[in-house]
Amino acid sequence: MSGSRRRPLVAGNWKMNTTVPEGIELARAIVALDRPDEVGVAVLPPFTHLWPICAELRGTGVELGAQNCFWEDAGAYTGEVSPAALAGWCDLVLIGHSERRHLMGETDEQVARKLRRALTHPLQIILAVGETLEQRDAGTTLTVIHRQLDAALDGLDPASLERVVIAYEPVWAIGTGRTATREQAQEVCAAIRTHVAGMVSAQAAERLLILYGGSCTPDNAAGLLAEPDIDGGLIGGASLKPAAFGAIIAAAARAVNATVDG
Ligand code: PGA
C-alpha cells in the first residue's frame, strides 16, 4: 500500500548512552542540524536527561521522547517512571522496545498495559515490534508481528491510533550492523499496515506512521526510506553521531520529496 506520502519521522533512541552534560551537548548539536520541515525529528534520551534537554529543545521543532514508562500513573513502584510525569512536556514515549522485551522480560501484556495507560495522557506512543533471528529462520516473522500488534492494539479506536507510531525493528538487526534489506523491511511494514487496517480501519492504517529500526545508517537509509510503507526510522547507534543522524534526516527529506515530485 503506498499513497499520499506521510510526514516521515526520524527518532533517535539514545538508549543508556551519554551523561547528562554529554546529552545536552548532543541535543544542541541535533538542534543545529539542517532539519527540513518535511521531516519530523525526535530524540529519546535517558530519563535523567529529559528535563534539561526539554529546555534545549523548546521552540526548535525537535520533539522529545522517553524510552519507556510504567503502566500505572502513581504508587509504590520503586524505580519506575509514570506516563503522568512525562505528559505535558514530553511529546513521545517508546513502548515495547526489544531490549525491554528480551533483556527485561517485558511481556506482550505489559506492553499493552503501558500503551493503554500512556494513551490516557497527551503523549504520542512509538510501539516497537520485531522478530528474533530464530523466529525469522523458522518462517514465523509475520505470526510474531501480528501477535505483538494484536496484544497491544486490540480494541483501539481510530482516534487513539492517530497517536500511535509503529516501529518495526527486527531484533537480529538491532545494534548488530546487520540491517534488514529494504525488501525485507518493506514486506513487514506493508504487512503491519494491512494488519492494522483490519484491526482498526483502512483510513487509520493509511495515515499510520511505520518506522524501520535496526542498524540504520546514512549508507542504507536512502534505500529503506524510499520504500512506500517505511515512514522514517528509529535510530540507535547512528543517533549518537550528529553528522550521521543529520544524513539520515536528509535522506528522509529526499525520499518524501521524490514521492511528491514523482
Ligand atoms: P540501532 O538501534 O540503530 O543501534 O541498531 C535501533 C534501536 O534499537 O532502536
**pLDDT averaged over consecutive 10-residue blocks of the chain (262 residues)?**
75 98 98 97 98 98 98 98 98 98 97 98 98 96 98 94 97 91 98 97 96 97 97 98 98 91 64
Q: Among 133, 165, 215, 240, which residue has the most ligand 1 atoms within 8 Å of its CB, making it the best to mutate?
A: 215
192's enclosing H/E stretch is helix 182-199
pTM, two decimals, is: 0.96
Q: Is 128 in the pocket of ligand 1 (CB under 6 A)?
A: no
Q: Is 215 in the pocket of ligand 1 (CB under 6 A)?
A: yes
Could you identify the atom of ligand 1 that is nearest to the CA of residue 215?
5
Nearest residue (CA) to ligand 1, atom 1: 236
Rounded to an integer, what is the distance from CA 182 to the centroid of its chain? 17
Q: Which three cell numbers stand for residue 104?
A: 527485561
- Taking the CA of residue 140 as centre, how many other CA atoms within 13 Å lie in the half-sphere pointing to its CB? 9
Q: Which three cell numbers stand for residue 106?
A: 517485558
pLDDT at 260: 72
The strand pair at 232-235 and 164-168 is best described as unpaired
13's enclosing H/E stretch is strand 9-13
SS3 6: coil
Q: Which three cell numbers stand for residue 142?
A: 509475520
Nearest residue (CA) to ligand 1, atom 3: 236
SS3 184: helix
Q: Among 216, 217, 219, 245, which residue has the most ligand 1 atoms within 8 Å of its CB, making it the best to mutate?
A: 216
Q: Is 65 in the pocket of ligand 1 (CB under 6 A)?
A: no
pLDDT at 217: 97
| Pick from 261, 251, 191, 189: nearest CA to 226 | 251
Residues annotated as part of the active site: 97, 169
Question: At a CB cut-off of 8 Å and minimum separation 6, what does 20 contact?
Answer: 48, 49, 52
Q: Which three cell numbers stand for residue 88?
A: 505535558
pLDDT at 259: 80
pLDDT at 5: 78
Look at the chain and count its residues: 262
Indicate the burial class of 105 (C-beta count within 10 angstroms; 0-12, 13-18, 19 or more): exposed
- The answer to whether the CB of 233 falls within 8 A of the CB of 216 is yes
Q: Is 233 in the pocket of ligand 1 (CB under 6 A)?
A: no
From ligand 1's centre to the CA of 170, what distance in Å?
Answer: 10
Long-range contacts of 222-225 (CB under 8 A, 24+ apart): 222/251, 222/254, 222/255, 223/182, 224/179, 224/180, 224/182, 224/185, 225/8, 225/251, 225/252, 225/255
pLDDT at 1: 42
Nearest residue (CA) to ligand 1, atom 7: 236
